[in-house]
Structure 1
């Protein structure tokens, strides 16, 4: 327990040093990120990455959305992966629709367009949902049920690196697979 507390203090000090170097304060950060830094969960490297991304107009805008912020902080190639998946999905779905419809392709363009848009949405979700994240979740309510507590304590991704002061058991990692599998099943079913 003492080791975890010392690690949290070191992580907090490291994050605060990066903020000071960047001439930022905790108050200037999003509340979830500031709370995670205050709790000693976020290392200086993640804070540094956040400050770098905030400088860009496009990434700064994306960082306003919690889901994108968590994924961009964890994986600097996240948007490239999403872009490639959506582009390839759009191209292959359009080619498949053309092969299927041939002469009627342009006559049924609205159906083709709807199918391609659905494929792009499904491809986006198939990359977005299981992507690694930097978990910035707030604590769960005390009166939450057992299953809700278990799923809340599971990592967002089965292969997620545990940040300072946290660790994941094999059962929690399996829970992450089950939770994300259920989400992906719902996306796949909705896109039919």
Structure 2
């Protein structure tokens, strides 16, 4: 029976067991197997348990060949246990990673298992999303940002970090239980038996998450951009930036406010609008509308950040600083003139 299972086409992927319930299981195990179809991982675990209870050798054969649930799943078809053992050893070595790199690798693998399209989505968000955000940022500046390229570069660095971290944190994983997922809606306007307090809690939780990510990314991105500009000045002493470098902490606070308020509101609204469009539009129209809306959302995000940075004073252009200095110097001249006039009056008396 182990040979029959090992060389069967059903051996390649756990998903094929969940999607094709043929008499194979009944003839082999003399019982009917009904597998849940919620996720490939749960189907694999259920089948492995049933095979283990019937015959341990069958369980070993299944787990050795079906390790790549999210991948091609075609390895080990030629029959050699050495090849499968080598792959399982690699899997154990990768899972034994510790520290921040191990946490990241394991988290990335869990997200890819839950959504095989996750790497493509991250790539599109980094390319399309960040580009749209930078275009919106430049459109809000004078001369299309050509006189403020240092600020634009800072937005590019911070935006890239923010987009990746948020997509990583918000992506579903195979380790999330259904009870935890159902405790709060994923966004405010998600349909379901959620109370008003639950929806407000979701808005506050997402806002706090976005703000924390924005602050951390603002610190890292501003420090990186300022460091690169300083390195450029050391390499080229004649290089001068047209504007003063943004303060690291103040710029990070600005990013935290932007992410916690502007990005959070747009995130909640966009998800609600997409839910309505999915019900009203055909699939092709829905996908095209989603692409257009998300590009527009990133453009609006870039423009709103520039406005907030102007209000907080984290990014001041050279003309604004010169104007402030002129006003300050003018008030100083007026004050000194008044003092001289008072001194002359006292001498006359």
Q: TM-score, normalised by structure 1?
A: 0.51
- Out of 174, 178, 183, the residue aligned to residue 174 of structure 1 is 183
Alignment of 1:50-129 (within 5 A): 65-103=105-143, 105-129=145-169
5+ long unaligned stretches in structure 2: 1-44, 53-58, 68-74, 78-82, 97-103, 187-201, 219-254, 256-349
From the CA coordinates, give the structure whose radius of gyration is larger. Answer: 2
Q: 1:104 to 1:183 in 2, by over 3 A?
A: closer
| C-alpha distance after superposition, 1:58-80 (max 9, x if no partner) | xxxxxx82222222222211111
5+ long unaligned stretches in structure 1: 35-63, 136-154, 156-166
Q: More displaced, 78-87 or 89-98?
A: 89-98
CA distance in 2 between partners of 1:129 and 1:11 (Å): 35
CA distance in 1 between partners of 2:185 and 2:132 (Å): 30
The equivalent of 2:212 in structure 1 is 186
Q: Does structure 2 conserve the Cα–Cα contact (< 8 Å) formed by 1:86 and 1:124?
A: yes
Q: 1:98 to 1:29 in 2, by over 3 A?
A: same
Give the count of matched residue pairs.
Answer: 129
Q: 1:6 to 1:121 in 2, by over 3 A?
A: closer
- Out of 87, 90, 107, the residue aligned to residue 28 of structure 1 is 90
Q: 1:11 to 1:94 in 2, by over 3 A?
A: farther
CA distance in 1 between partners of 2:109 and 2:46 (Å): 27
- Runs of 4+ in structure 1 displaced over 6 angstroms? none
Alignment of 1:34-45 (within 5 A): none
CA distance in 2 between partners of 1:172 and 1:105 (Å): 43
Q: Does structure 2 conserve the Cα–Cα contact (< 8 Å) formed by 1:71 and 1:131?
A: yes
Q: Does structure 1 conserve the Cα–Cα contact (< 8 Å) formed by 2:64 and 2:84?
A: no
The CA deviation at 1:175 is 6.7
Question: Could you say which structure has the greater relative contact order, defined with CA pairs below 8 angstroms and 6 or more residues apart?
Answer: 1
The CA deviation at 1:120 is 1.8
The equivalent of 1:16 in structure 2 is 64
Q: Does structure 2 conserve the Cα–Cα contact (< 8 Å) formed by 1:129 and 1:184?
A: no
